[in-house]
Structure 1
Amino acid sequence: MPEPHTQPSYPTALGSSDLKTITLLDHDLAEDIMGQVGFGELAFWLATQRRPSPGETRVFEAVLAALADHGFTPTAIVTRLTYLSAPDSVQGALAAGLLGGGSRFLGVTEDTGRFLHHVLTSANGDLPAEDADWDALALRTVQEQRAAGQFVPGLGHHVHKQGDPRTPRLMRIATEEGLFGPHLSLFAAIGRVHPQVLGKKLPLNGAGVCGAALADLGLPLPLLRGFALLARTAGLVGQLAEELRNPVANDIFLSVDLNNRSVPPRPDTDGGSHG
């Protein structure tokens, strides 16, 4: 006798709907969330499936604000240029900008959070309790990176050579909310001790401190870049809105198009092999 057919089941604590209601995170979307929960709080809740405290929400939304826009970065420029090329595809313009979130822009948030977490989980014994102990751990960390010929993620900024203004502000907010945890503590210590190893003082990158703060909030490390992209989406929408009011994309395009110069081909000296 054939087995009775069973329907597949796909459990989710996120959105589901029936004829009259929409349920999100086990709450009625229309009555319990709309107009009651801010977008930043909801984004945190969706990622962790636990509702954040007011302090966690404040730190998280400070991170989103810090990463939303940083001027005419490559992500902003490519969004404007893609919209110039395809004004019928807002989604394409936004996607083009988001796809540029990598190791130099936006990806620093994830890279820093992962790096700090690796150091903390690799440390022997209990975590430091005093600044001097944090400094000792940070000093070993920077020395090891230097010996390996590796950079410390989140250390240095191409514009804010004298200090990224987002860094002390986010650290103050985390302190005020009692959420200055081990990742921020290690990152701050790196900021104090790295000149002893590198022979120069570099700023703690704002995107890097965001990664430390997100890691201290207990957010999933593989999603840290996703939160940076969430923030930058708002900034890119703003870039497109300004492009509609005050277009510059065509000027950027023409600046390159009218000023390019032809040069002879230069073959690769190794015969084109890059394997």
Structure 2
Amino acid sequence: MTSSPDEAALWWATAVSHIEPGSIELRDRPVQDLIGRASLVDVIWLMLRGTTPSPPESALLEAALVAGVDHGPQAPSIAAARMAATCGIGLNNAVATGVNMLGDAHGGAGQQCVEMLTDIRTLHTSGLGWDDAAHEVMAAWQSRSRYLPGFGHRFHPVDPRSGPLLGLVRQAVADGVVGGDFLDGALAVEEALRRRRAGARPVPMNIDGATAVIYAELGFAAPLARGLFVLSRSVGILAHAWEESGQGRRNKGPLPRNVLPARLPQPKDP
């Protein structure tokens, strides 16, 4: 059986881009019309959504992306990229090593939080108040896990990134840029946790929760919350891998060479 050029073209047909000799179009926009006119954030929106954002939407998305860029070498994705950079591989491989560490437990909380906030909003739309909707969805999530995605931080008593982001969302709601339902749902969860943990260490919203509010308010699907976080964090991963590659170390491991891991006691034969 033979195939025609038209069949091959249909096989790879896409609305994302169109390439011909002398022509490059991104979502039907000639690339030369975007260069120098559209920001990278605008193009991210265009490629994912097929439209261009308003300036306030673009600014809100950019704030979320900036906030998630880096969280230091103790983050597994960044530690892995730094170690990989000393193993004789290329910079792209080191970045890929770090990005591939971003899974459900490390890097997936934003997506999970969007899913949780969407459930709360759905219940609220059906007639429940924000507090009751939050309690119901929180109970369902905590029946599966002790963690609520987007709330609490193992390192920061109060995440320094969440306050500025939530302030921008509040302003966007006041300006009519976004609706505010996802913000209200997230604040209802935060308040429920505050009341539940009266006298104990608070569990405020963290970066994953704050960016989840932004991504949801801007209309991004939950899986794209993780994808956008990956784009953001890859900048920090690249910076760390590049720095490490210039320090001359070879085969960097998780511990300094003069520190040996403790020998674990061997199990006794029964």
When the two structures are superposed, what TM-score results if normalisation uses the length of structure 2? Answer: 0.84
What does 1:6-45 correspond to in 2, within 5 Å?
A: 7-8=6-7, 9=10, 10-30=12-32, 32-45=33-46
Partner amino acid for 1:259?
V
What does 1:172-183 correspond to in 2, within 5 Å?
A: 172-178=167-173, 179=178, 181-183=180-182
Partner amino acid for 1:225?
R
Distance 2:80 2:254 in 1: 14
Q: For the structure 1 residues 166 and 254, does the alpha-carbon distance in structure 2 shift closer, same or farther, using more than 3 Å as the test?
A: closer
CA contact (8 A) 2:118 2:182 kept: yes
CA contact (8 A) 1:167 1:206 kept: yes
Q: Counterpart of 2:25 in 1: which secondary structure?
A: strand
Distance 2:145 2:253 in 1: 38
Q: Counterpart of 1:23 in 2: which secondary structure?
A: strand
2:135 is aligned to 139
1:120 is aligned to 121
CA contact (8 A) 2:77 2:98 kept: yes
Q: Counterpart of 2:225 in 1: which secondary structure?
A: helix
1:186 is aligned to 185
Q: 1:158 aligns with which of 151, 154, 159?
A: 154
Distance 1:256 1:123 in 2: 52
Gaps of 5+ in 2: none
Q: For the structure 1 residues 156 and 180, does the alpha-carbon distance in structure 2 shift closer, same or farther, using more than 3 Å as the test?
A: farther
Q: Counterpart of 2:226 in 1: which secondary structure?
A: helix
1:130 is aligned to none
Alpha-carbon RMSD across the aligned residues, in angstroms, is: 3.0
1:109-159, CA deviations, whole angstroms, 9 ceiling, x for partnerless residues? 1111112112322446247xxxxx423432343345456664321111011
Same amino acid, percent of matched pairs: 23
CA contact (8 A) 2:86 2:252 kept: no
When the two structures are superposed, what TM-score results if normalisation uses the length of structure 1? Answer: 0.82
Q: 1:168 aligns with which of 156, 163, 171?
A: 163
Cα displacement (A) at 1:97: 0.5
Partner amino acid for 1:207?
D
Distance 1:220 1:265 in 2: 48
Matched length = 260
Cα displacement (A) at 1:212: 2.0
Q: For the structure 1 residues 14 and 78, does the alpha-carbon distance in structure 2 shift closer, same or farther, using more than 3 Å as the test?
A: same
Distance 2:259 2:68 in 1: 33
Cα displacement (A) at 1:29: 0.3
Cα displacement (A) at 1:184: 1.8
1:263 is aligned to 263
Distance 1:148 1:11 in 2: 41
Cα displacement (A) at 1:89: 1.4
> Is 1:197 equivalent to 2:199 in the alignment?
no
Q: Counterpart of 2:253 in 1: which secondary structure?
A: helix
Distance 2:266 2:71 in 1: 36
1:1-28, CA deviations, whole angstroms, 9 ceiling, x for partnerless residues? xxx9683214322222222221111111
Q: Counterpart of 1:36 in 2: which secondary structure?
A: coil
CA contact (8 A) 1:81 1:249 kept: no
